[in-house]
């Protein structure tokens, strides 16, 4: 996995209150919830996914969405892929696409927190 993706995953987890630090048998990890389906997701402390966690662009890149943290969330691969196939290809004014974007935005906002000061984070992506 690309280093920038790992950093993005770490920073998304750090700013998402569903994520907390846990200890697994083989070391520290982060556990949180998919932005779509709330399924449990696990990352290693360096951001490498243990389960299939991916970066979700809330406003898709194809519609001008950027890489700022407020537009990024962590989603399981299945949800992220599903949204990409079903929704991101739609026109920007498509009501279903707009509704899903609004829902994800609200959820990201509701879970938003400042990065915990005791997390050892790499430089911001």
Question: Rounded to the nearest whole angstrom, what is the least distance from the CB of residue 123 to Zn ion in the complex?
Answer: 28
Nearer to Zn ion, 28 or 96 (CB): 96
Task: Return the ∠ at Cα 107 (arms to 57 and 48), rounded to 5°.
Answer: 50
Q: Least distance (Å) from Zn ion to the CB of residue 124?
A: 25
Give the bridge partners for 73, in sequence order.
56
CB of 13 to Zn ion, least distance (A): 15
Residues within the interface to Zn ion (CB under 5 A): 34, 36-37, 39, 76, 79
Sign, CA dihedral 118-2-75-102, equals: positive
Q: Which is nearer to Zn ion, 34 or 124 (CB)?
A: 34
Q: Shortest gap between Cβ of 108 and Zn ion (angstroms)?
A: 14
Q: Which of residues 28 and 103 has its CB atom nearest to Zn ion in the complex?
A: 103
Contacts of 115 (CB under 8 A, 6+ apart): 11, 14, 15, 121
Tokens read off for 92: 């920007």
The residue among 58 and 79 lying less far from Zn ion, judged by its C-beta, is 79
Q: Which residues, in sequence order, are bridge partners of residue 33? A: 40
Task: Check residue 38 and report its DSSP letter.
Answer: -
């Amino acid at each position: 996995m690309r280093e920038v993706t790992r950093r993005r995953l770490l920073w998304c987890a750090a700013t998402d209150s569903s994520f907390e630090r846990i200890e697994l048998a083989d070391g520290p990890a982060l556990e949180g919830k998919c932005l779509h389906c709330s399924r449990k997701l696990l990352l290693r402390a360096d951001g490498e996914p243990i389960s299939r966690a991916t970066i979700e662009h809330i406003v898709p890149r194809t519609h001008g969405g950027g890489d700022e943290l407020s537009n990024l969330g962590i989603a399981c691969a299945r949800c992220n892929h599903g949204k990409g196939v079903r929704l991101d290809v739609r026109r920007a004014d498509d009501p279903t696409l707009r509704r899903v974007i609004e829902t994800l935005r609200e959820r990201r906002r509701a879970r938003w927190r400042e990065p915990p000061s005791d997390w050892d984070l790499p430089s911001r992506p």
